[in-house]
Structure 1
Amino acid sequence: MPTTLHELLPAERVGAPASWELLERRAKFAATEIDHTLGVEAGDADFAGIPCRTIRAGDRLTVLYLHGGGYRMGSPEAYNAYAAALAADTEATVVLPRYRLAPENPFPAGLRDALVVYEELAMTTDGPIVVAGDSAGAGMAAAVVVAVDTSDVRAPDGLMLLSPWLDLQCSSPFYETATDAFFPLASAESARDDYLQGAPAGNPLVSPLLADHTGFPATLIQVGGNEALVGDALGLTRALAAANITCTLEVIADQGHTWPLIYPDRGVSIASIESCARFIRSIEVGKAVE
């Protein structure tokens, strides 16, 4: 069994330059404002040489949060407000890696960054660790769990996924029936091709829906009822149930892709964040009684 997570990944490859259109889309991922009445501390730190954003309200547990953006967009600063709400509600520290993006850095570069950050947290953190993410970041979070399960590295205590993109084969029938237009099949296939650049979509480190799930921790999955990724969420829920893993699936009616991030002030978004906080607190309680 590998002693480090690096041994599980293929060699890194030279990627392609980002198009002007993609660079313009990246620029639109603006930083969000932190509500300083929450009493959190925001800063920047390196973990295993990877620059990260940290949002801290306490040290009861650590959340490794991997941002979304199709593996080719997004930034930790865009998650300031969301991470602050999670941290404040749980007295936790949220760590958001600035992982490398495709197409300049195709698979496995971004996942390697996430894994080395997780490995350092696992070695230096005594409290519970929850791995989390949204969209492509949720897929990467699940891939971290897949990698850790085949290594000697300490396993995470929980997994929390929002609108998870878990199957880069993009075979779900929900791509054809979803009413939410935020992440259509054409966008999914374009993002996949930029990320993989010839790597197989059936690799469980790329499509964790296809992995062996017997070693997964307790998991919370949230998905909007209108979005194309309902199929991925249902697939992982079924797989975890078959593996006898504690899993909660929340399908939120009439919501689209990553609704708590796009519409943070809506009651349904606030309720979703509160549910995440309850899940994180349950992981802490469960860890304490072991």
Structure 2
Amino acid sequence: MTTTASDPNRIHWEATARDEETDWAALATEPDGIDEERVDDPAGLWLRPRDALPGTAVLAIHGGGFISGSAATHRRMFGHLARAAGLATFATEYGLVPEHVFPSQIETVMHAYRRLLDGGATRVAVVGDSCGAGLALAVALTARDSEVAPPVSMLLISAWVDLEATGGSYDTGSDPFFTRELVRALGAGYLAGADPRDPLAGALHADAHDLPPTYLQVGADEALLDDSRRLADHLRDSGVDVRIDEFAGQLHTFPMAAGRTAVADDAIKRAGLWLRSTMNS
């Protein structure tokens, strides 16, 4: 198991549990070979490797429990992923709770997704971590049920898809920060009275047929482990091509430490190669 002393992501969550201020954005190192461009509509940040595959794009949706996070906090991790995949990646922004609640965030990320298609990308993958993974699934579901071209693939990191926090992995005691009560409170703030089993809010309750190939990465020590396991089973039972990798000793969104830990670098490499393969298939 990775020790606390060598795991900046674990240090971050332990400090957060003590209500200490941390710099989430600084967990990763600066990625090399990435050109950045800030965009106002849709709001976000382009992260372009210089060897990007033409005609493709990745929509990257940050996590943060709907109360925090931004393209800036995730710029480094998504930049490492863009470089590993060789794919131009757009890290999108969306409104946060309490000013913005369900389904506002879904509408915002769908706008960004449509703009990527309208901008000339013929193949678009969707990436999200934590609540961003739930939004990525909402994009795929909305596209499938509309006249919008669906994403070719989805990469979901530490997916949060059960807003009722019913998974047994909350009870293992291995996660220093995410408790069932905390996650339920975050979900309630986002839902603002909406049903937590609405398919666009909780993908475990969605009709998952005809969704694109999906790769899940999750920390084996995180409280949300069962979200990814149950989602993988649900997608597989619906005929979706699913891969799930559990990383021993790791906590929530551990790839945020890209460039600083071997396990985060391994996860980013695996994810980049997988995303690139879906663009070439």
Q: In which range does the TM-score fall when normalised by the shorter chain?
A: 0.7 to 0.9
Q: Which residue of 2 aligns with 1:45?
A: 39
2: CA distance between counterparts of 1:281 and 1:186? 38
Report the RMSD for the aligned CA atoms in angstroms. Answer: 2.1
Residue identity in the other structure for 2:260: D
Residues 1:229 and 1:264: Cα distance change in structure 2 (over 3 Å) = farther
Task: Name the SS for the 2:147 alignment partner.
Answer: coil
CA distance in 2 between partners of 1:121 and 1:142 (Å): 17
Structure 2 residue aligned with 1:224, among 219, 225, 232? 219
Query: What's the offset of the Cα at 1:103?
Result: 1.2
Name the CA distance, whole Å, in 2 between partners of 1:33 and 1:247: 27
Alignment of 1:168-179 (within 5 A): 168-179=163-174
CA shift, 1:264, in A, is 4.6
Secondary structure of the corresponding residue to residue 227 of structure 1: coil
Distance change in 2, residues 1:189/1:262 (3 Å): farther
| 4+ aligned runs moved over 3 Å, structure 1 | 24-36
1:135 corresponds in structure 2 to: 130
Aligned length: 261
User: What are the equivalent positions in structure 2 for 1:109-148 lying under 5 Å apart?
Assistant: 109-148=104-143
TM score, norm. by length of structure 2: 0.87
Corresponding position: 1:84 with 2:76: no
Please state whether the residue corresponding to 2:244 is helix, strand or coil.
Answer: strand
Superposition map of 1:1-290 within 5 A: 28-30=23-25, 35=30, 38-46=32-40, 49-57=41-49, 58-60=52-54, 61-262=56-257, 264-286=259-281
Q: CA 1:260 to 1:33, structure 2 compared with 1: closer, same or farther past 3 Å?
A: closer
User: Any idea what SS the aligned residue of 2:239 has?
Assistant: coil
Taking the aligned partners of 2:230 and 2:120, their CA distance within structure 1 comes to 32
Partner SS state of residue 52, structure 1: strand
Cα displacement string for residues 209-260 of structure 1 (whole angstroms, at most 9, x for unaligned residues): 2101112100000011111111111111111211221110001111111111
Instruction: Give the gaps of 5 or more residues in structure 2.
Output: 1-18
Report the CA distance between 1:28 and its aligned residue.
Answer: 4.9
Q: Secondary structure at the match of 1:65?
A: strand
What are the Cα deviations for residues 159-198 of structure 1, in whole angstroms up to 9, with x where unaligned?
0000000111211121122511232212211211211111
TM-score, normalised to structure 1, is 0.84
Structure 1: segments with no counterpart, 5+ residues = 1-23
Percent identity, please: 29
For residues 10-69 of structure 1, what are the alpha-carbon distances to aligned partners after superposition, in whole Å with 9 as ceiling and x for unaligned? Answer: xxxxxxxxxxxxxx9999554677636x221011113xx331111011244211011000
Return the offset for 1:285. 1.7
The code of the aligned residue for 1:44 comes to R
CA distance in 2, matches of 1:261, 1:148: 28
Deviation at 1:149?
A: 1.3
Of stretches 55-64 and 141-150 in structure 1, the one that deviates more from structure 2 is 55-64
Separation in 1 of the partners of 2:134 and 2:140? 10
Following superposition, the deviation at residue 88 of structure 1 comes to 1.4
How far apart are residue 263 of structure 1 and its match? Answer: 6.5
1:18 aligned partner: none
